[in-house]
């Protein structure tokens, strides 16, 4: 009985490492260090790549000349490449009416289906032209509306790394992989994605991340393993609902 429970918990526990804001301009010093760390501990993270970065804040970081070559190398190594927005420039305000009710500025929320489809398909075309396979998406600042989901589905993307809950789930025809905390947390149970912004890190943050990786290496799973855990049973629906209610007011842990 006990070993059955142990099995159940270990089958439904895992951490997906998601790095945000990967683009030509970024903190390459920490990116290179992170890549060596991932290789050493055989970690396959998800890298959220911005196809046409025009975000002024991000553009202030050093530019990598052979960036797309680098992305192809990551992809060949088994790192999962996700599309993270289009230009990463916010031009609407979701006023808490966005899909998850987080609020804040957005690159997608509130735009017409036509405009959102254009942005998503132009972004995907870049990856396609560069011969890089992309299966999943996450929006800058976690802000979506129903049209974002529709535009993604119409463009062949059915997986999003965002959302509430302790297990990946399907809603409106999309597989959602929950991303709950800004800080790197480990929960005793459930499948979670991190969100890591290397650009804002100093050496101390990186050292903490290294310790986290060493301590949790056996719980870190690949993107494919995460998607395979999609669970829509009633128990998880209730747990996910409760997580949503609890966290909606305490998002910025």
The contact set with Zn ion (CB under 5 A) reads 20-21, 140
Task: Tell me how far, at minimum, the Cβ of 192 lies from Zn ion, in Å.
Answer: 18
Q: Identify whether the C-beta of residue 162 lies closer than 8 Å to the C-beta of residue 192.
A: no
Q: Identify whether the C-beta of residue 15 lies closer than 8 Å to the C-beta of residue 43.
A: no
Cα of 50 vs its chain's centroid, Å: 12
Pick 51 or 140: Cβ nearer Zn ion: 140
Pick 14 or 140: Cβ nearer Zn ion: 140
Pick 21 or 145: Cβ nearer Zn ion: 21
Task: Tell me how far, at minimum, the Cβ of 144 lies from Zn ion, in Å.
Answer: 13
Residue among 253, 212, 201 at smallest CA distance from 21: 201
Pick 28 or 41: Cβ nearer Zn ion: 28
Task: Tell me how far, at minimum, the Cβ of 1 lies from Zn ion, in Å.
Answer: 45
Task: State residue 136 phi and psi, 5-degree precision.
Answer: -135, 165
Using CA atoms, how far residue 12 sits from 15, 49, 215, 220, 232, in Å, is 10, 28, 18, 12, 13
Task: Tell me how far, at minimum, the Cβ of 183 lies from Zn ion, in Å.
Answer: 16
């Amino acid at each position: 009985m006990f070993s059955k429970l142990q099995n159940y918990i270990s089958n439904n526990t895992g951490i997906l490492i998601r790095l945000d804001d990967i683009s030509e301009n970024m903190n390459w010093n920490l990116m290179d260090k992170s890549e060596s760390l991932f290789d050493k501990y055989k970690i396959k993270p998800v890298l959220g790549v911005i196809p046409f970065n025009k975000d002024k804040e991000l553009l202030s970081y050093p530019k990598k000349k052979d960036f797309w070559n680098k992305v192809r190398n990551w992809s060949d190594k088994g790192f999962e490449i996700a599309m993270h927005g289009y230009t990463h420039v916010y031009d609407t305000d979701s006023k808490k009416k966005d899909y998850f009710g987080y609020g804040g500025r957005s690159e997608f929320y509130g735009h017409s289906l036509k405009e959102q489809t254009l942005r998503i398909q132009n972004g995907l075309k870049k990856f396609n032209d560069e011969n890089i396979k992309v299966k999943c998406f996450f929006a800058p600042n976690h802000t979506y509306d129903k049209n974002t989901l529709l535009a993604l589905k119409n463009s062949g993307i059915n997986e999003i790394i965002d959302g509430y809950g302790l297990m990946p789930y399907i809603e409106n025809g999309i597989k959602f992989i929950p991303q709950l905390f800004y800080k790197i947390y480990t929960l005793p149970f459930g499948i979670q994605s991190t969100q890591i912004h290397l650009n804002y890190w100093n050496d101390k943050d990186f050292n903490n991340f290294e310790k986290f990786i060493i301590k949790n290496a056996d719980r870190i799973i690949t993107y494919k393993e995460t998607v395979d855990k999609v669970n829509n049973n009633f128990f998880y629906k209730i747990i996910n609902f409760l997580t949503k209610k609890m966290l909606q007011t305490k998002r910025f842990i």
